[in-house]
Structure 1
Amino acid sequence: MSLDLQRAASEPITSLDMLLAGFRSAEKPRSKHLLGLEHEKFVYPVQSAQQVPYEGPSGIGALLEKLAPAGYTPFRETPASPVIALQKGMLTISLEPGGQLELSGSPFRTAREAHAENLAHLAEVKQAAGALGLRLVALGYRPFATPQQMSWMPKTRYVAMRQTLPERGPLAHNMMLMTATGQVSFDWESEADCVRKTVLIARLAPLMVALYANSPLLDGKPSGYLSFRNRVWDEVDPTRCGYLRSFFDGSFSYRAYLDWALDAPILFLRRDGEYLRPKMTFRDFIHRGYAGSPADMSDWTDHLSTLFPEVRLKKVVEVRGADCASAEMTGALGALWRGLLYEPGAMEEGERLLPKLSYEEHLAFHDTARRQGLAGRLGTHELHRLAGEMVAIARRGLERLDPADAPLLEPLAAQAASGRSPGQTVLEAWQKDPRPEAFLGHFTL
């Protein structure tokens, strides 16, 4: 996601081939395939369940200031603007709209390297947060309070999205302010390889949703979903979220993703230090321009970053369906998909794991996973057994590819074997003691 108000001059878009070329330019030989890990988490006061605003001596801004001396370069939108991110090499610490703290990690060859970076990051942030009377909490959705009670972070992009997205869906602010996730991204070597990986991720995503379902509470009460975070995305913007039909009918390609993206409305355009909000699709923008200015490649890059499908293509393929979980479960996320996607035998096994479902059948499968988690069923198949076999396939892939990554899968294997999603533990903690400040202590990183 872009941090800057300004944007570099860019080449005008004169043909769709230019956009397809962007996907082709991301192709890499297998010897250069890397992975990247992202981990969002909530920040709360140690003795409270109140949201932490940006301002104040123990605010999010103060936390960034406390972290900055550890080799980070603070990032501001303008010289007079507040700090909204910290950068160190390829690593970025940034803010989601409601003050969720996000690590966008460096690209690594192995999952264990990405996990080690996240552990070091968490140790650093926990020390800084502790000095300010703050704690980090690993849940997929804020279990208490409502979007109306939240403070917004001082980032101009979020001002534009705050105004534009609610026109597309009633839970847009819930998504921006109340959710936290773990994500992982991967490379591809050709269009055929990209298609296989994207389709495999999409087909297996509900099993991952069930394994990571960690957000059952809504405003202090059970929501009816073990992953309410995932449910929120249904009412953000149906044109830019969810699954593409082409994932399931054999027609997915660079061009299929391109056509889907072109027909999504533009959320904003950056021009002269401002965020403009034209009401048009990107396809319309290419044909007509806006305010006398043509669509260019920088606009397209911005637009791709405002699409939120379960599997997203940019210069990498992003896996987006997991709730925020513990550091160990987040490390397992990288190992799971590295084992499934980067070892040919595991890819073949993964493709055979589930029956071929239509788009509508897959949506029903996905809904079962987020409602019931590992306790759900796909036809006669128990989801916890299918999830356990998916983890086992990934382990076999890693044992052939890089055995040192395989131990990272142990928390996932144990989760699947238990037959219980993390959200069931969350519900039990709430039932034993629903007091917000005590409850959050169970899920502090």
Structure 2
Amino acid sequence: MSLDLKRVASEPLTSTAPLVEELRKGEKPRAQHRLGLEHEKFVYPVGSAQPPTYEGPNGIGALLERIAPGGYERFRETPQSPVIALQRGMAAISLEPGGQFELSGSPFRTAREAHQENLQHLKETKAAASDLGLRLVALGYRPVGTPGPGGVEMPWMPKTRYQVMRRTLPERGRLALNMMLMTSTGQVSLDWADEADCVRKTVAVARLSPLLVALYANSPLVEGKPSGYMSFRSRVWEEVDPTRCGYLPSWFDGSFSYKAYVDWALDAPLLFLRREGEYRHPKLTFRQLMQEGYEGKPPDMGDWTDHLSTLFPEVRLKKVLEVRGADCASAAMTGALGALWRGILYDAQALEEAELLLPRLTFTEHLAFHDTARREGLAGKLGPRELNRLAGEMVAIAKRGLLRLDPEDAPLLAPLEAVAASGRSPAQAVLDAWKEDPRPEVLMSRFEL
């Protein structure tokens, strides 16, 4: 979530050393480690499968205004611009390009605190939505509709950043607009202590991410038909931009470091550059921008911060470590997401066990593993081993970690234990419901939050 706050000029960037140092600034003592949830969801009118526009008495803008009196500060890009986000304390409600409604939660010590914040957000938002004849839907990809040529068949939110990305990102990948308009996800952000801790956690999450994809796969339908994928949302990312999405080879060959992440990011093309209140689109990678400058001037740290926010790897580093592999799911499953990664990453023994759960795969082998997970979900296999059993072991590792770390968080894992034990990704329930009644508005009601 990026609110595109006003750029503040800083010292020119003339070497990569400050970029590495910027990651180092994210380090926190272990006693201060926190986690935060992000939960996107779709908004639809009751009885309809056509998403609302921003404008109008029952639009997304009206929904924001209905929620705002609950102690929120309205966010506008300019004093004359429409409201595109709400902030209350350290939590924010923001909009994805197609009107997906997102809570970017506060950092908490425990997963249950993050879960309770999300439950309160859902309570407030559902009440406001009901007043407007709207409902919230938990799916990872819109089951009907298309982005259309130029993305004209879906609503677009009035955020300048999105209008620029609407022009620039499709140059990089065939499904870029699908990502922007048609997908919805759940994410968790976590902390690290030092570079070695960051490397270890990032690599562990990357290696386990296909199991996360399978556990949370919840997007099997595309344009009213089974897509052949349990998580089509995950499939979409393959054709957004290979230079800024997916997995880093350094996560699998032992070479990952702060500098490796910076080097990877430097070679991704700019999606935009903010200058004098405008969004520019120089055809440069960030590395080329540092070498050549733009309009006679080198970039600064504000440009780098903007650039990092336009990168979408499975594990993203900014001032926190973002885990990005889950489809949007129910509130309980989203609460479990925080508990899962707290249990694995914040307990030393659990992290050791998680590192030993899977065989050491090459980069190419891991990509094949990821493809199996998004296609087959928990029914797939890694070699002779069923993914549902591996996912169950991953959840068990997290539970043991929480029982040592903070037993009160452990019950949040119950939904994941049930999913893994069933051997059925959430997407299978979507397919069953669609087979029973293929009316889109009925499906929306079945998966209403």
* Offset, 1:5: 6.1
Letter in 1 for 2:352: E
Q: Paired residue for 1:221?
A: 225
Q: Paired residue for 1:88?
A: 88
Query: What does residue range 407-422 of structure 1 map to in structure 2 within 5 Å?
Result: 407-422=411-426
1:320 is aligned, of 307, 324, 332, to 324
* Offset, 1:249: 0.5
Task: Between 4-13 and 178-187, report the one with greater CA deviation.
Answer: 4-13
Q: Paired residue for 2:195?
A: 191
* Offset, 1:115: 0.2
Normalization by structure 2: what TM-score?
Answer: 0.98
Q: Secondary structure at the match of 1:147?
A: coil
- Matched residues in 1 for 2:90 and 2:211: separation? 31
Query: What does residue range 168-317 of structure 1 map to in structure 2 within 5 Å?
Result: 168-317=172-321
Query: What does residue range 104-115 of structure 1 map to in structure 2 within 5 Å?
Result: 104-115=104-115
Q: Secondary structure at the match of 1:83?
A: coil
Letter in 2 for 1:383: L
- Matched residues in 2 for 1:295 and 1:14: separation? 8
Gaps of 5+ in 1: none
- Matched residues in 2 for 1:11 and 1:85: separation? 29
Q: Paired residue for 1:118?
A: 118
Q: Secondary structure at the match of 2:86?
A: strand
Q: Secondary structure at the match of 1:140?
A: coil
Gaps of 5+ in 2: none
Question: Contact 2:92–2:104 at 8 Å: present in 1 too?
Answer: yes
Q: Paired residue for 1:11?
A: 11
Q: Paired residue for 1:158?
A: 162
Q: Paired residue for 2:33?
A: 33
Question: Contact 1:165–1:172 at 8 Å: present in 2 too?
Answer: yes
The root-mean-square deviation of aligned C-alpha atoms, in Å, is 0.7
Deviations 1:198-221 (A, max 9, x none): 000000000000000000000000
Question: Contact 1:36–1:114 at 8 Å: present in 2 too?
Answer: yes
Letter in 2 for 1:153: M
- Matched residues in 1 for 2:128 and 2:260: separation? 45
* Offset, 1:4: 3.2
- Matched residues in 2 for 1:202 and 1:194: separation? 12
* Offset, 1:240: 0.3
Cα gap change, 1:102/1:25 in structure 2, threshold over 3 Å: closer, same or farther? Answer: same
* Offset, 1:3: 1.7
Letter in 2 for 1:32: Q
- Matched residues in 2 for 1:10 and 1:220: separation? 49
Question: Contact 1:6–1:271 at 8 Å: present in 2 too?
Answer: no
Q: Structure 1 vs Structure 2: percent identity of aligned residues?
A: 75
- Matched residues in 2 for 1:25 and 1:7: separation? 20
* Offset, 1:273: 1.3
Q: Paired residue for 1:404?
A: 408
- Matched residues in 2 for 1:275 and 1:114: separation? 35
Deviations 1:102-129 (A, max 9, x none): 0000000000000000000000000000
- Matched residues in 1 for 2:7 and 2:354: separation? 41
Letter in 1 for 2:108: F
- Matched residues in 2 for 1:292 and 1:67: separation? 45
Task: Between 285-294 and 388-397, report the one with greater CA deviation.
Answer: 285-294
Question: Contact 2:14–2:298 at 8 Å: present in 1 too?
Answer: no
* Offset, 1:401: 0.4
* Offset, 1:6: 2.8
- Matched residues in 1 for 2:73 and 2:299: separation? 32
Normalization by structure 1: what TM-score?
Answer: 0.99
Q: Secondary structure at the match of 1:230?
A: helix
* Offset, 1:10: 1.5
* 2:380 is aligned with 1:349: no
* 2:398 is aligned with 1:394: yes
- Matched residues in 1 for 2:448 and 2:292: separation? 50
